[in-house]
């Protein structure tokens, strides 16, 4: 059990990569606070963890709001006493060029994908400092390292996550807080299927195109969760400031 006795917060934990990671963290011995705006799915996730013998609680939180982030951290401390791991995973995508993108969508994507990391990390880091360290993992994307078509604001936001991660690693390494990011490729989640809808493409065809990479398939949420587990655990104790690409080789020939 790689996370025995650890306490973790997982944002965007009601579905997709976040839910798979919350479940895996619990299986590996962590107590997990699942945060999401989707209360029904979030509670279902924590109930499943409990049925499997794990410890988890759900807190509804919009992590673009400072008050919600503060309340989320207070809940984690109230329930479990400290915070060892933070997965900043909440994210959204809007598929559009700059010309087709509304200002509202630009602001919303940047708020969910980037500002949320700032707000929640600002609340968590002082508690990690007091307890002697911790691990923060931010969800970036392969498109944070290489551009993609009709995804201007998403690419901008995930590029920001990569460099924010590196800056945080420099600032907080002396306090034994490791900060890394995960860069998934196309992963079979509701968000990926929503991309197909945004682009007006049949989801089956969209997934077939997404699978055209060296390993010949899209990722599963579990694929990404196991990589996050590595960054959360002591197995990566000398790793900080890294952007770990988990994409079936999709970027292997581009960066």
Let me know: does 185 contact 213? Beta carbons within 8 Å.
yes
**Residue 83: other Cβ atoms inside 10 A:** 22
Query: Is 154 among the catalytic positions?
Result: yes
Residue 8 host element (H or E)? strand 7-11
What CA–CA distance (Å, rounded) separates 177 from 25? 19
Residue 208 host element (H or E)? helix 203-210
* Own/partner long-range contacts of 200-209 (Cβ < 8 Å, ≥24 apart): none
DSSP label of 213:
S
What CA–CA distance (Å, rounded) separates 194 from 95? 10
Let me know: does 227 contact 129? Beta carbons within 8 Å.
no
What CA–CA distance (Å, rounded) separates 130 from 167? 21
Tokens of 14: 């009601």
Let me know: does 39 contact 58? Beta carbons within 8 Å.
yes
Task: List all residues 6 or more positions away from 30 whose beta carbon is below 8 Å from its beta carbon.
Answer: 3, 4, 5, 6, 7, 8, 84, 85
Catalytic, out of 154, 157, 180, 242: 154
Let me know: does 137 contact 88? Beta carbons within 8 Å.
yes
What CA–CA distance (Å, rounded) separates 41 from 15? 7
Let me know: does 114 contact 161? Beta carbons within 8 Å.
yes
Active site residues: 154
């Amino acid at each position: 059990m790689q996370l025995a006795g650890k306490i973790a917060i997982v944002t965007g934990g009601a579905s997709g990569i976040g839910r798979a990671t919350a479940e895996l963290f619990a299986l590996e011995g962590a107590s997990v606070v699942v945060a999401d705006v989707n209360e029904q799915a979030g509670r279902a996730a924590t109930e499943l963890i409990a049925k499997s013998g794990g410890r988890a609680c759900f807190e509804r939180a919009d992590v673009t709001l400072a008050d919600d982030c503060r309340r989320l951290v207070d809940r984690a401390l109230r329930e479990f006493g400290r915070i060892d791991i933070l997965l900043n995973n909440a994210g959204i995508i809007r598929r559009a060029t700059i010309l087709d993108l509304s200002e509202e969508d630009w602001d919303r994507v940047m708020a969910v994908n980037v500002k949320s990391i700032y707000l929640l990390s600002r609340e968590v880091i002082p508690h990690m400092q007091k307890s002697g360290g911790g691990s923060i993992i931010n969800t970036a994307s392969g498109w944070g390292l290489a551009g993609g078509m009709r995804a201007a604001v998403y690419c901008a936001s995930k590029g920001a996550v990569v460099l924010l991660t590196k800056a945080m690693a420099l600032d907080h390494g002396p306090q034994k807080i490791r900060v890394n990011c995960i860069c998934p490729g196309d992963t079979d989640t509701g968000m990926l299927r929503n991309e197909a809808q945004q682009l007006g493409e049949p989801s089956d065809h969209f997934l077939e195109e997404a699978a055209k990479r060296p390993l010949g398939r899209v990722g599963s949420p579990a694929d990404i969760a196991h990589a996050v587990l590595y960054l959360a655990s002591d197995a990566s104790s000398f790793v900080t400031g890294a952007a770990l690409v988990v994409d079936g080789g999709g970027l292997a020939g581009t960066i």
